Amino acid sequence: MTKINIRLLETPEDLRLVEELQREVWPGSETDVVPMHMLITAVHNGGLVFGAFEEEKIIGFIFGFPGLEELPDGARAKHCSHMMGIHPNYRDHNIGFALKRAQWQMVRHQGLDHITWTYDPLLSRNAYLNIAKLGAVCTTYRQSEYGEMRDGLNAGLPSDRFQVDWWINTSRVERRLGKRSRPTLKLSHVTRSGLRPFYALQTLSGNLVKPPEHVPTFDERFTTRRNPQRLYRFKIKRFFSGARLAIFYKRII
C-alpha cells in the first residue's frame, strides 16, 4: 500500500466522493447515505470532513459537526463525530487512527475540548481504536440508538451503542496521539497474570467464536471477557446464529 494522505474536504466534488464511499462501506440502503448537500452545509457551518486518499482514490473518511451537551448549569459546546468509514479493502492499516488524529487537531484549533461519538459494543476493533489507541472513555450505554437499521452490515441486528467522550486536551489523549506508540496488550499477558476468564469461547469453522453452552456462575472475582473478533463476518453473511449471538452478548456486557 502506498502512502496515505489525509486532507480536509470542502468542495462539492470532494464531498461527492464521500457520498459514494458510504455506499461501499454500508451497502444496501440508499436512504441512510448522508448526501453531498448535507455534508457541504455542515462544512460551511463549522462541520469537518476529512478524507484518506491513496493517490487520488478515497479510501476512508470522517464526518462530524458542532453540537451541544445539556448540563445542569446550561449547554456546553462540543464536536459530534457522526460517521467514520474505511473501504473494506483498507481496514486494519491505522487509517481510522490517522483520521481521528486529524479531527483532533482541527477541533482543538476550533477551540473545543470535547468530542463524542457512538460505536457498536460488539465490534472489538472499534473498541480497541476508541479506548486503547485514542484514549476515549465510555460511561453511557444507549439502547436501540438508531432503531431498526437498514444497511447491509446492520440490518436485523440490535442498534445498541456505547457513547464515548474524548477529552482532547487531556494528557491521557495527548500521550496516545504522540509519535511514540503504546505497547499492545495481548490476551497472553492477561492469562500469565493469573486472571481467570469468565468463560472460554468455543471456536467454530472459519475462525468464528461463540459462547459456551454453559456459562459458569459469576463469583465476584475479577474477570475478563473477550469480544468476538469476527462479528463483521456474521453481519455480512447475516447468519441467524449471528443475530442470536449479538443478543446474547448484549445481555452480558
Determine, yes or no, domain membership for 188.
no
Looking up residue 137, the CATH number of its domain turns out to be: 3.40.630.30
Contacts of 209 (CB under 8 A, 6+ apart): 201, 202, 203, 226, 228, 229, 230
Q: 163 forms bridges with which residues in the sheet?
A: 118, 140
Q: Based on the fold, state whether residues 125 and 224 are members of the same structural domain.
A: no
Determine, yes or no, domain membership for 133.
yes
Q: Based on the fold, state whether residues 92 and 210 are members of the same structural domain.
A: no
pLDDT in tens, 1-52: 689 999 999 999 999 999 999 999 988 777 789 999 999 999 999 999 999 9
Q: Based on the fold, state whether residues 9 and 112 are members of the same structural domain.
A: yes
Give the mean model confidence (pLDDT) for residues 204-211: 67
Number of domains in the chain: 2
Nearest Cα residue to 162 out of 123, 133, 135 = 123
Nearest Cα residue to 21 out of 87, 95, 116 = 87
Q: Based on the fold, state whether residues 78 and 133 are members of the same structural domain.
A: yes
* Rounded Cα–Cα distance for residues 137 and 163 (Å): 9
Contacts of 220 (CB under 8 A, 6+ apart): none
* Domain assignment of residue 204, given as a range: 193-252
pLDDT of amino acid 229 = 45
Candidate from 83-87, 112-116, 120-124, 190-194 with smallest mean pLDDT: 190-194
pLDDT of amino acid 146 = 80
